[in-house]
Amino acid sequence: MKLPLDRIKELGNIDFLARQLVDGFITGLHKSPYHGFSVEFAEHKLYNTGESTRHIDWKVYAKTERLYTKRYEEETNLRCQLVIDVSSSMYYPSETRGKLMYSLLSAAALAFMLQRQRDAVGLATFSDKIEYTSQIRSTSTHLNKLFIQLQQLADDEKVESKTSVATILHEIAEMNPRRSLIILFSDMFDSQDTNEIFKGLQHLKHNQHEVLLFHITDKKTEFEFAFDDRPYEFIDLESGEKMKLNPADVKTAYREQIDRFYKELKLKCGQLKIDFIPMDIHNDFNDVLYSYLVKRSKMR
């Protein structure tokens, strides 16, 4: 499903839109060649002889004459932390705040899907420091708290902030003492040496985390540098530095440099067995949900 990023506020709140995205995705999945993915969500498990009877659901027993125990958070299949870059560069393009809005809505849809599967989910946001972090839980009350935080980010005015992806990756690795799935939404634009970013990614893997990296960009302008042949004033959203130039004069050099960065990042993720998903903000949101299900199926 595609949504016009500049009209998300008109279409509804993050909570409503996330549920619509997931429901539409699951409906389509049942009709697609990928219907083998698990989209049914069990709340109980069969009682095994010798287990404590404390958590047996007697109401279910009365209806079915079978013993089931209730599943609690510590019994969930997966711990997942959604990590969103909220630095100034994610507010590009400024008229739609496209990269940020795409990331927020994608994260909300994944959080809803995770909670429906009784997986535990948490949220962290960052710029050059951790801006917000939640506990990792699977309850509906907790999910609502995450939706409120995501909605606030969608509604708030932009705050000038730089990025420190490398530093944050190290912090995220240490914040999660138990093996988790880390889902990262970022453009990965950082003034630090790319080797420092790679060290941060390596730290996540060293701590036994699974990592799914959604590389968020506006492909047409940020990768293809597709601007009209006329003078522009370019403004660095993080430093405020301004530069006047004709895009045609620098297009070749720019594309060579951005392509080099992209290939290095993709190669390093491949070496570390990190799922690297290039994501254009004009892509269908189903691409995010499907990529998650592919990753989830590999972790069973």
Residue 188 has which token pair? 């990965």
User: pLDDT truncated to tens, each residue of the chain (300 aa)?
Assistant: 666 665 666 667 888 889 988 988 888 775 554 444 444 434 556 667 777 777 777 777 777 777 767 654 444 578 999 999 999 999 999 888 899 999 999 999 999 999 988 899 999 999 999 999 999 999 999 999 999 999 999 988 877 788 899 999 999 999 988 899 999 999 998 877 788 999 999 999 999 999 999 999 999 999 999 988 898 888 877 777 888 989 889 999 999 999 999 999 999 999 999 999 999 999 889 999 989 988 887 776
Rounded to an integer, what distance in angstroms lies between the CA atom of residue 262 and that of residue 266? 6
Tell me what pLDDT residue 299 has: 76
Tell me what pLDDT residue 129 has: 94
CA distances from 255 to 181, 219, 237, 238, 278 (A): 32, 11, 19, 21, 16
CB 170 within 8 A of CB 203: yes
Tell me what pLDDT residue 70 has: 63
CB 105 within 8 A of CB 147: no
* Domain 7-33+76-298, CATH among 3.40.50.720, 3.40.50.410, 3.40.50.1100, 3.40.50.10490: 3.40.50.410
Q: How many CA atoms lie within 13 A of 142 on its CB side?
A: 18
> CA 5 from chain center: how many Å?
16
Query: H helices within 89-136, ranges in order?
Result: 98-116
Q: What interhelical angle do 140-155 and 98-116 show, nearest 10?
A: 170
Residues of each domain in the chain carrying CATH 3.40.50.410: 7-33+76-298
Whole-prediction pTM: 0.82
Q: What interhelical angle do 14-30 and 98-116 show, nearest 10?
A: 60
Rounded to an integer, what distance in angstroms lies between the CA atom of residue 182 and that of residue 199? 16
CB 119 within 8 A of CB 77: yes
